[in-house]
Structure 1
Amino acid sequence: MITHPTQSMFIGTLPMGFATIVNMFCFVCVPAWGEWARDFTWAMWIIDAVIAVTTALSLPFLLMSRRDETQLSSMTAVWLLPIVGTVVTASSGALVAEILPNPQHALWTVIVSYVLWGIGLPLALMVMVIYLQRLTLHKIPPKAMIVSVFLPLGPLGQGGFGAMRLGKAAQAIFPKTNTLEDISGQVFYSMGFLVGLILWSFGLVWLFFASASIARCKKFPFNIGWWGFLFPTGAYASCTCQIGAELPSAFFRILGTIITLCVVALWIAISMVTLKGVMAGTIFHAPCLADLRAKEKERGVVVKVV
């Protein structure tokens, strides 16, 4: 799977899924269970950060170092998956920093989160430039991969949410630790909101491209890739809701609620269809294993010839 140019990219979903568990520990388990849950959550976040950096650096390099030449026409937005994990982990780091009682621990969590954000988001933006070129030259993906056009919403939505949450954490932690100048925390908070609003606005562009592509296809077959609807849209909903929380704006709060309800409805519908496919045994397909079987057959033919 690691050597497959497409399937290997899905390893990047591991730190993203792990980050959601860390978030729920921050929101639910720490208030209910106390001190040990706080330390356990911080340890889980550190492990998640290591996994996220490893996948973000290693998988793109493996793609570069493959012997077979990669055609631009074969590129899909799944190239973003191993990269976005660092942005998601950075957003979780802001939540973890808010629950840590030690200001120094919280400070280093915020600093590392900014580093993770800086690793993931600029690299994701570069990949999105390549993807836009692919869409322009080779047109929208085939129906089986059409859902992937929603994936650029992930780094933009989560990047905006992370920038705002990290700025909010810096505003509270920097004065306690005498970090930089007295007003540095406020500056980070204001810049975080500005960056979040810009990324949210850029997400509107990709939301239009994705929606227009889906509308043009009209009907397309269900496959496991439909889960690609959920995370990008959910990340964009988080960014929208966070803007609504920072601004005295009913528009963003209502819009964030609408997008969130759409995500919930999609999750229910896709879960039901997926469960039906699991029961029938028709939903899962691993191209990397098919390639492996083909290689084994070739090796078997060579051995017989010899």
Structure 2
Amino acid sequence: MGTGIVSILLHNLPYNGDWLYYLSIIVFVLNIILFSTACIISILRYTLYPEIFMLMIKHPVQSMFIGTFPMGLATIINMVVLVCVPAWGEWTRYFAWGLWIFDAVVSVMTALSLPFLLMAHGNERPLSSMTAVWLLPIVSCIVAASSGAIVAGVLPNEQYALWTVIVSYALWGIGLPLAMMVMVIYLLRLTLHKLPPKAVIVSVFLPLGPLAQGGYGAMKLGQCARDIFPQTHTLEESSGATFYTLGFLVALILWSSGLVWLFFASASIAYSRSFPFNIGWWGFTFPLGVFATSTVQMGTELPSRFFNILGTILSVFVVVLWIIVSVGTLKGAISGKLFYAPCLGDLRVAEEDRDAGKAA
């Protein structure tokens, strides 16, 4: 997700150049390699050790990260549309559409099933144990909605494009209201039980994701509605323009709300001062990255030099942050101390109990 959003930011920078375009392609290829490698490793892991899968799916924290799969794939789909469609032509349009359909189905399954499993399995959990990772499976629908708008913009068949937009609005409606509910609970948790431990303090940036991505999606879907509705005679003649205008209004409100969470998150980091590097530092990149994309898109729609400059500054900051976290991850991967699966602790407990039972 973090690498994918960096490739998109480099491609869409308001003040761009040819060298940034080629750099975005390099990061895009790197993202495909990382995504494919992670998929292969995960398939092998749960094929060779199937008992781990059930432990993972029932874990209240680790299971939430399944939502990163469709979101990571969505960044690849977006770059296929932005880079491959202009370069390789017609077949890539439908290839991106097929990938998006798969991504949308997985996003809905993830957003609905994982919160329900959280309700149905395990013991009662105190409010203080809640973290912002609850948002991850839900945000996948919002990301899929934004990606659907990008895909619909290049589909040559008007009816296919129309249905893609309608489904994307439904995905947006599934994800954003549910994410807002979780954010209210998370704000209550922060208020009553103070900031999370330093090891997971980066998670306070995660609420920025659904707000920024929701705003970006509203603008892109409004664009598509403005262009596609008149062509397909959907609703009234002025409906597309209305959707477009309302989309920008919603985006502006969500972007402003994102500023609140950006302040809370930045103040939390400043208050914590020093905190250890861990894999959770990747929680910096995607939320800040989608906030930057939303800012850049607002600058495009208005148009506005303020939003263009601010979007560029945020984008460059995210790229620098991505480099820092990538170097830290590479060092941690080489040392073997970075990766940790919380669910394996439950497996050890189960094995100890089984051994104790045999001994008795």
TM-score normalised to the size of structure 2?
A: 0.84
Return the offset for 1:46: 0.2
What is the correspondence of 1:143-292 to structure 2 with a 5 Å cutoff?
143-292=198-347
Please, which of 296, 300, 305 is the counterpart of residue 355 of structure 2? 300
Matched, 1:101 2:142: no
Q: Do 2:58 and 2:122's aligned partners in 1 also have CA atoms closer than 8 Å?
A: no
Q: Which residue of 1 aligns with 2:87?
A: 32
Deviates more, 1:28-37 or 1:144-153: 28-37
What do you get for the CA RMSD once the two structures are aligned? 0.6
Deviates more, 1:62-71 or 1:127-136: 62-71
CA distance in 1, matches of 2:238, 2:359: 75
Kindly provide the amino acid, as one letter, of the partner of residue 198 in structure 1.
Answer: I
Q: Which residue of 1 aligns with 2:70?
A: 15
Q: Say which SS state the counterpart of residue 178 (structure 2) adopts.
A: helix
Return the offset for 1:303: 2.4
Kindly provide the amino acid, as one letter, of the partner of residue 155 in structure 1.
Answer: P
Q: Do 2:145 and 2:172's aligned partners in 1 also have CA atoms closer than 8 Å?
A: yes
Return the offset for 1:302: 1.2
Q: Say which SS state the counterpart of residue 99 (structure 1) adopts.
A: coil
What is the correspondence of 1:80-159 to structure 2 with a 5 Å cutoff?
80-159=135-214
What is the correspondence of 1:74-85 to structure 2 with a 5 Å cutoff?
74-85=129-140
Return the offset for 1:31: 1.1
Q: Which residue of 1 aligns with 2:25?
A: none
TM-score normalised to the size of structure 1?
A: 0.99
Q: Which residue of 2 aligns with 1:44?
A: 99
Kindly provide the amino acid, as one letter, of the partner of residue 97 in structure 2.
Answer: W
Return the offset for 1:32: 1.1
Q: Do 2:230 and 2:237's aligned partners in 1 also have CA atoms closer than 8 Å?
A: yes
Deviations 1:241-284 (A, max 9, x none): 11100113111110011110010000001000110111111110
Kindly provide the amino acid, as one letter, of the partner of residue 255 in structure 1.
Answer: L
Higher RCO (CA 8 Å, separation ≥ 6 residues): 2
Q: Say which SS state the counterpart of residue 264 (structure 1) adopts.
A: helix
Return the offset for 1:67: 3.3
CA distance in 2, matches of 1:158, 1:67: 31
User: Which ranges of 4 or more aligned residues in structure 1 deviate by more than 3 Å?
Assistant: none
Q: Which residue of 2 aligns with 1:69?
A: 124
Q: How much identity, in percent, do the aligned residues show? A: 69
Return the offset for 1:213: 0.3
Kindly provide the amino acid, as one letter, of the partner of residue 189 in structure 2.
Answer: R
Return the offset for 1:218: 0.5
Return the offset for 1:20: 0.3
Unaligned runs of 5+ in 1: none
Kindly provide the amino acid, as one letter, of the partner of residue 297 in structure 1.
Answer: E
Deviations 1:89-110 (A, max 9, x none): 0000000000000000000000
Return the offset for 1:304: 2.4
